[in-house]
């Protein structure tokens, strides 16, 4: 128990009060008047307002789509990248450093970079696609709800792949050679050894990747703020951005907390589900 | 086919891998290349349709301007280094034992505790920002690099624990059973046997914690004022109300990603060695 | 929950204060009597920043500090993050600053500010445009002072207009539409604007408010409830919708004004509504392809004449300030005629003092100052209320839907009207 205690104490000390306070705020109505913050208990009123608010539901649906797609894309792409970098041809340190760079770029710079790349009038993506003849006219990538949401997705996937790929690479490296040899002895081809040796051993890593990516995809904020501000017409107002807007722009702290707590609840349920479904059963013995 | 062939694959597979690597390079490096190019171009070249890459437009003024305002960026990099190194070191120091305990030791309801630890991350930062601000300001620790490091610790710790726990659970128990038979205690087993073979996941966890601390923006905005500004805040300075001096922002971004790249290159041997072929050969 | 925390702290603080006063403090009292420490929260240059933070009037500033025995510490932050940090500080109950910058947030933060501007010297107040106080006045009290004249005016590319056969900028809505259509050719568009962000001053809703006033409408009635559902509101939105074929299609995705200004400065748009400060950028050879080709004019008149909105960059004093009188003197220094003159000559931010605006040296350096002064003769209400952010998000989103053709102008205005009514009623 000593092993675990220090970590738990640190977490409780720093996050305990804020988390509890946030849950309590969701049950209050907070207003900034008279030079102070006035709070009054309103029970579940914030949540009732939430569930009747079309803006909330729109954000919820968009967030659901965004999150599911991001988890799928990031997991698949990261697995692919990890396999590539695990192959003898991909083992050079150059690739590993290249992997980390997108992730190491500061978030504001990253978001502004992509805003300029995707710009409808002078963006370099338009420039390249047009000179390659792939498109005739410059496209407004962030102009239509469907397109804006999907480009937001692509940019976030780009930023999220490095970490998950790194994780999977570490997982791949830990698959013992002896298992591959054994499979080879049994006459397994490359695909079979992948399916029957690699994937099962990576199950723990895959589970972590899915769980973490789910949690993070529900918290996307920087990109929405810089690239679209939730537009056009709230098409990219994801739940976390909505919580920010309500809390910091409208100063409606109670309502904003309610939205954030809904995100909390959804994340909790989803993560719990994934862990229950995907987590490797045995704690230890693998051979 | 030989075992080596199974590993390397025939010509078809090798071509696929090569193509895959090429796509990976373009995908990863493309936008980064644009970042570097933009930092070397004048603004008016960047707003051309398509952006004007003729040699006349290349300039170092973005860098000289940014370096000229060196005080802010230098202090930002220093602060970020302190915060990131501190929170990474402590996260590993506290997290590795915790992860091991939750993976191996007979901790009651280990799964529940582990999930609870993860659950602390599920509430969006937006919600805890103001209460956390109130807490930290009552302690008088606003605008303090170490207090920011401690806050980041609370974000890194759960993830580090989960990453390491996942790896620890997949270590075959044979090693530890052998050690137990020899009468080695838990801590010694952990320190001398488990940790050394866990370099890859430890490295992954360390890299994660460092980069996350390096990149964190929102809490740095809320919890600092003038003295403890970190790199993301300094970079955000280049986007004002009416103007975003894109070239300068990219120059600042290039300068600030450099320490991370340097660390990655310095530790590449650890990273590569740690990622060397499995821990059990043959 | 945090109330109990503060009670404990208060007791601890009380004990500390008690112990401190028991010490022989009278010896140090004289030394401390003079020096006053002021803390100012301001944006970073190139956004409007005070002397010392921006590079102008630095000598005068040093002299002021010496003469007033004051030290001034600046806390500066990138403009887009200002509101977040202020909101956090105020939401936690207080703020560490004496003076803060404010931009349309005065009604929102009114309970944390002091109405010092009622006490400004008459000579200063007379030199300021009377309507500049409208966005910083709440319940009849003045909580701030605007320090730069920043109104939207029409920026246009002279060369493009000449090529299309126009000798003068458009003066009416009809001309605006005609010009827009004619100027949309050769890969350029007649108009570019940033419709991407619905909120705030300079967002989509605020642009609609410009047209609303030009149509003769207003946002709110006497009781604070919205009254824009009528003809004027719809006509204003319809004008924007009618201009869409002449407007750069990327406009709906331009989330900040910078994205749109760059299109104008690259020569691929002919007209834009923009702020006086952008005049400098337009003539900067590093940033602009249209140096020397830009001109500015009063915005085209709608049925009720021309109108604009106020950028409302103001200085305010916080209620928690320990030295409000000294803070007021510092603000008066910022508004000093010489300092204001250096402000425009060195940083490009127009002065607010009428006497300085009329100065020939200023007019020579900032030719658009005359246009802005002319624009100031027409209404320029920004309709700032405590709910400004929420209202502009609601209205701006509806405007965006109409601009994209998802709704008719009438439907969008009606929906916006209902949303704003709900917002106002909820505040109670």
What is the tens place of the pLDDT at every residue in A145-199?
999 999 999 999 999 998 889 888 888 877 777 888 888 888 877 777 788 888 8
Q: Which of A38-47, A91-100, C71-80, C252-261 comes out lowest in average pLDDT?
A: A91-100
Residue B89 main-chain phi, psi, to 5 deg: -60, -50
CA B237/CA B214 separation, integer angstroms: 17
Cβ neighbours, 10 Å, residue C223: 7
pLDDT of B78 > 80? The answer is yes
pLDDT of C1 > 50? The answer is no
pLDDT digits (tens, 9 = 90+) for C117-127: 999 999 999 99
Whether residues C172 and C126 share a domain: the answer is no
Let me know how long chain C is.
428
Whether residues C345 and C394 share a domain: the answer is no
pLDDT digits (tens, 9 = 90+) for B226-269: 899 999 999 988 888 888 889 999 999 998 888 888 877 777 66
Is C8 an interface residue toward B (CB < 8 Å)?
A: no
Whether residues C359 and C417 share a domain: the answer is no
pLDDT tier, B171 (very low <50, low <70, confident <90, very high otherwise): confident
pLDDT of C25 > 60? The answer is no
DSSP-assigned letter for residue B142: T
pLDDT of B162 > 50? The answer is yes
Q: What pTM does this model have?
A: 0.89
Q: Which chains touch A (3 or more CB pairs under 8 A)?
A: B, C
pLDDT of C321 > 70? The answer is yes
pLDDT of C222 > 60? The answer is yes
Closest CA to B88 of B190, B204, B193, B194: B204
pLDDT at B269: 64
User: Mean pLDDT of all residues in chain A?
Assistant: 87
pLDDT tier, A280 (very low <50, low <70, confident <90, very high otherwise): low
pLDDT of C19 > 70? The answer is no
Q: Is residue C360 part of a domain?
A: yes
Pick the residue from chain A with its C-alpha nearest to B139: A14
Pick the residue from chain C with its C-alpha nearest to B224: C85
Query: What's the mean pLDDT in B29-54?
Result: 88
Mark which residues 8-67 of C lie under 8 Å from A by CB. none
CB contact under 8 A, B240 and C75: no
pLDDT at A189: 78
Question: What is the number of structural domains in chain C?
Answer: 2
Q: Which residues of B touch C186 (CB under 8 A)?
A: none
CB contact under 8 A, A119 and C250: yes
- Token pair for B198: 């866990």
pLDDT of C185 > 60? The answer is yes
Q: Is residue C315 part of a domain?
A: yes
Whether residues C106 and C222 share a domain: the answer is no
pLDDT at C33: 52
Measure A6 CA to nearest chain B CA, in Å.
6
pLDDT tier, B278 (very low <50, low <70, confident <90, very high otherwise): very low
User: Mean pLDDT of all residues in chain C?
Assistant: 89
Q: Which domain holds residue C34?
A: 6-150+311-375
Is B206 an interface residue toward A (CB < 8 Å)?
A: no
End-to-end CA distance of chain B: 17
pLDDT tier, B282 (very low <50, low <70, confident <90, very high otherwise): very low
Residue of C4, C6, C48, C78 to mutate, interface with B, max B Cβ within 10 Å: C78
pLDDT at B219: 93
Q: Is residue C381 part of a domain?
A: no
Of C88, C196, C320, Cβ closest to residue A232:
C196
Is A250 an interface residue toward C (CB < 8 Å)?
A: yes
Report CA torsion sign: A217, A221, A224, A226. Answer: negative
Q: Which residues of C touch A149 (CB under 8 A)?
A: none
Closest CA to C51 of C247, C282, C359, C315: C315
Whether residues C257 and C399 share a domain: the answer is yes
Mark which residues 122-161 of C lie under 8 Å from A by CB. none
ipTM above 0.95 for this complex: no
CB contact under 8 A, A233 and C255: no
On the 0-12 / 13-18 / 19+ scale of CB atoms within 10 A, C312 is: buried
Higher pLDDT, A287 or C58: C58
Whether residues C122 and C253 share a domain: the answer is no
CB contact under 8 A, B14 and A104: no
Most confident of A106-110, C155-159, C370-374: C155-159
Residue A114 main-chain phi, psi, to 5 deg: -70, -35
Whether residues C139 and C175 share a domain: the answer is no
pLDDT of C100 > 90? The answer is yes
Mark which residues 35-74 of C lie under 8 Å from B by CB. 43-44, 46-47, 73-74
Of C2, C46, C287, Cβ closest to residue B44:
C287
Closest CA to A155 of A112, A219, A121: A112
CB contact under 8 A, A4 and B104: no
Residue of A48, A50, A121 to mutate, interface with C, max C Cβ within 10 Å: A121
pLDDT > 90: what percent of chain B?
31
pLDDT of C390 > 60? The answer is yes
Whether residues C303 and C319 share a domain: the answer is no
Whether residues C279 and C411 share a domain: the answer is yes
Q: Which of B197-211, C173-187, C252-266, C343-357 comes out lowest in average pLDDT?
A: B197-211
pLDDT digits (tens, 9 = 90+) for C143-163: 999 999 999 999 999 999 999
pLDDT at B70: 67
Closest CA to A170 of B267, B200, B281: B200
pLDDT of A12 > 50? The answer is yes
pLDDT at B49: 82
Tokens 């009063």 belong to C298
Return the SS3 of C218: coil
DSSP-assigned letter for residue B129: H
CATH number at residue C220: 3.40.190.10
Q: Which residues of A touch C262 (CB under 8 A)?
A: 121-122
**CA angle (C192 as vertex; C188, C193 as ends), nearest 5:** 165
Q: Is residue C382 part of a domain?
A: no
CA A117/CA A113 separation, integer angstroms: 6
Domain final position from C375, C395, C414? C375
pLDDT of C293 > 90? The answer is yes
Q: Is residue C60 part of a domain?
A: yes
Q: Is residue C68 part of a domain?
A: yes
pLDDT at C329: 95
Mark which residues 39-98 of A lie under 8 Å from B by CB. 80-81, 84, 87-91, 93, 95-98
Query: What's the mean pLDDT in C409-427?
Result: 94
Residue of B66, B170, B247 to mutate, interface with A, max A Cβ within 10 Å: B170
CA B160 from chain center: how many Å?
Answer: 11
Of C47, C93, C265, Cβ closest to residue B47:
C265
CA B93/CA B89 separation, integer angstroms: 6
Whether residues C226 and C277 share a domain: the answer is yes
pLDDT tier, B271 (very low <50, low <70, confident <90, very high otherwise): low
Whether residues C164 and C142 share a domain: the answer is no
Query: What's the mean pLDDT in C263-272?
Result: 94
pLDDT at C56: 93
Is B258 an interface residue toward A (CB < 8 Å)?
A: no
CA C417/CA B9 separation, integer angstroms: 67
Higher pLDDT, B55 or C239: C239
pLDDT > 70: what percent of chain C?
92
Q: Which residues of C touch A34 (CB under 8 A)?
A: 111
Let me know how long chain B is.
282
Higher pLDDT, C419 or B244: C419
Measure A251 CA to nearest chain C CA, in Å.
7
CA A17/CA B123 separation, integer angstroms: 13
Query: What's the mean pLDDT in A236-260?
Result: 93
Closest CA to A15 of B116, B161, B224: B116
Q: Which residues of B touch C78 (CB under 8 A)?
A: 233, 236-240
Instruction: Give, to the nearest 10 degrees, the angle between helix B61-68 and helix B70-104.
Output: 80
Q: Which residues of A touch C83 (CB under 8 A)?
A: 248-249
DSSP C11-57: HHHHHHHHHHHHS--HHHHHHHHH-EEEEEEEEPTTSS--BTTBSSS
Q: Is residue C99 part of a domain?
A: yes
Whether residues C302 and C316 share a domain: the answer is no
Q: Is residue C275 part of a domain?
A: yes
- Token pair for C40: 């100012």
Measure C231 CA to nearest chain B CA, in Å.
32
pLDDT tier, A281 (very low <50, low <70, confident <90, very high otherwise): low
């Amino acid at each position: 128990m000593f092993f675990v205690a220090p970590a738990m104490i640190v977490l409780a000390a720093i996050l305990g009060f804020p988390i509890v306070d946030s849950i309590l705020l969701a049950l209050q109505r907070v207003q900034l008047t008279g030079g102070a913050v006035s709070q009054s208990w309103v029970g579940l009123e914030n949540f009732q307002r939430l569930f009747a608010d079309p803006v909330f539901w729109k954000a919820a649906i968009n967030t659901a789509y965004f999150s599911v797609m991001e988890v799928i894309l990031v997991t698949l792409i990261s697995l692919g990248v990890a396999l590539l970098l695990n192959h003898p041809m991909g083992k050079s340190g150059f690739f590993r450093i290249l992997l980390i760079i997108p992730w190491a770029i500061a978030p504001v710079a990253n978001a502004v970079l992509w805003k300029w790349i995707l710009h409808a009038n002078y963006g370099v993506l338009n420039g390249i696609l047009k000179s390659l003849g792939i498109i005739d006219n410059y496209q407004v990538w962030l102009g239509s709800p469907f397109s804006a949401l999907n480009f937001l997705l692509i940019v976030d996937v780009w930023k999220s792949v490095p970490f998950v790929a790194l994780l999977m690479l570490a997982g791949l490296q830990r698959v013992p050679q002896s298992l591959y040899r054994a499979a080879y002895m049994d006459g397994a081809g490359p695909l079979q050894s992948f399916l029957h040796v690699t994937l099962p051993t990576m199950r723990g890593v895959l589970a972590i990747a899915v769980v973490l990516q789910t949690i993070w995809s529900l918290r996307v904020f920087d990109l929405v703020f810089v690239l679209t501000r939730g537009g056009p017409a709230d098409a990219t107002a994801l739940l976390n951005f909505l919580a920010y807007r309500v809390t910091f722009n409208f100063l409606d702290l109670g309502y904003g907390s309610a939205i954030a707590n809904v995100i909390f609840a959804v994340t909790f349920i989803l993560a719990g589900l994934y862990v229950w479904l995907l987590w490797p059963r045995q704690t230890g013995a693998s051979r | 086919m030989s075992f080596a062939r199974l590993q390397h694959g025939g010509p078809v597979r090798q071509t696929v891998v090569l193509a895959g690597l090429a796509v990976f390079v373009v995908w990863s490096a493309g936008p980064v290349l644009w970042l570097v190019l933009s930092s070397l171009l004048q603004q008016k070249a960047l707003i051309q349709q398509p952006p004007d890459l003729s040699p006349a437009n290349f300039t170092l003024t973005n860098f000289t301007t940014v370096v000229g305002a060196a005080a802010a960026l230098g202090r930002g990099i220093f602060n970020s280094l302190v915060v990131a190194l501190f929170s990474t070191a402590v996260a590993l120091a506290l997290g590795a034992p915790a992860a091991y305990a939750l993976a191996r030791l007979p901790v009651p309801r280990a799964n529940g505790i582990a999930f609870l630890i993860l659950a602390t991350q599920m509430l969006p930062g937006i919600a805890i920002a103001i209460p956390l601000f109130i807490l930290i300001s009552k302690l008088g620790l606003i605008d303090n690099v170490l207090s920011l490091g401690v806050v980041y610790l609370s974000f890194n710790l759960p993830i580090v624990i989960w990453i390491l726990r996942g790896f620890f659970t997949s270590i075959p128990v044979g090693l530890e059973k052998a050690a137990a038979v020899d009468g080695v205690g838990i801590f010694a087993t952990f320190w001398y046997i488990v940790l050394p073979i866990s370099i890859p996941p430890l490295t992954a966890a360390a890299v994660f914690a460092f980069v996350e601390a390096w990149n964190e923006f929102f809490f740095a905005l809320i919890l600092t004022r003038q003295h403890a500004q970190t790199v993301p805040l300094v970079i955000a300075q280049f986007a004002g109300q009416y103007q975003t001096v894109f070239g300068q922002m990219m120059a600042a971004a290039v300068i600030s990603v450099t320490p991370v790249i340097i660390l990655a290159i310095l530790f590449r041997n650890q990273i590569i060695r740690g990622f060397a072929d499995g821990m059990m050969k043959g | 929950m945090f109330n109990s925390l503060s009670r404990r702290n208060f007791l601890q603080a009380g004990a500390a204060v008690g112990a401190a006063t028991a010490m022989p403090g009278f010896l140090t009292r004289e030394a401390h009597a003079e020096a006053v420490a002021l803390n100012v929260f301001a944006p970073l240059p190139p956004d409007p920043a005070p002397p010392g933070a921006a590079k102008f009037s630095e000598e005068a500033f040093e002299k002021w500090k010496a003469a007033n025995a004051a030290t001034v510490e600046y806390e500066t932050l990138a403009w887009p993050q200002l509101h977040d940090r202020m909101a956090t500080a105020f939401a936690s109950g207080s703020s560490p600053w004496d003076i803060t910058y404010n931009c349309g947030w005065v009604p929102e933060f009114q309970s944390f500010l002091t109405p010092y501007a009622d006490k400004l010297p008459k000579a200063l107040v007379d030199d300021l445009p009377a309507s500049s106080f409208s966005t910083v006045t709440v319940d009849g009290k003045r909580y701030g002072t605007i320090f730069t004249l920043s109104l939207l005016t029409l920026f246009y590319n002279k060369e493009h207009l000449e090529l299309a056969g126009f000798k003068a900028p458009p003066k009416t809505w009809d001309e605006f539409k005609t010009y827009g259509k004619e100027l949309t050719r050769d890969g350029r568009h007649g108009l570019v604007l940033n419709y991407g962000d619905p909120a705030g001053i300079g967002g989509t809703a605020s642009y609609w408010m410009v047209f609303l006033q030009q149509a003769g409408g207003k946002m709110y009635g006497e009781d604070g409830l919205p009254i824009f559902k009528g003809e004027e509101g719809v006509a204003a939105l319809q004008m924007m919708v009618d201009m869409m074929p002449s407007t750069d299609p990327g406009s709906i995705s331009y989330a900040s004004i910078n994205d749109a200004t760059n299109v104008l400065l690259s020569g691929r748009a002919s007209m834009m509504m923009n702020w006086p400060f952008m005049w400098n950028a337009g003539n900067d050879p590093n940033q602009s392809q249209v140096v020397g080709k830009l001109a500015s004019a009063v915005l085209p008149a709608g049925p009720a004449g021309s109108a604009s909105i106020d950028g409302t960059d103001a200085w305010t004093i916080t209620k928690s300030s320990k030295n409000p009188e000294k803070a007021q003197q510092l603000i008066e220094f910022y508004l000093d005629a010489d300092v204001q003159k250096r402000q425009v000559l060195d940083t490009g931010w127009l002065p607010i003092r009428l006497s300085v605006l009329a100065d020939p040296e200023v007019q020579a350096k900032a030719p658009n100052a005359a246009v802005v002064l002319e624009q100031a003769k027409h209404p320029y209400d920004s309709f700032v209320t405590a709910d400004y952010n929420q209202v502009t998000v609601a209205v701006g989103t509806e405007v965006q839907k109409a601009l994209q053709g998802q709704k008719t102008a009438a439907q969008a205005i009606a929906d916006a009207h209902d949303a704003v009514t709900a917002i106002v009623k909820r505040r109670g």
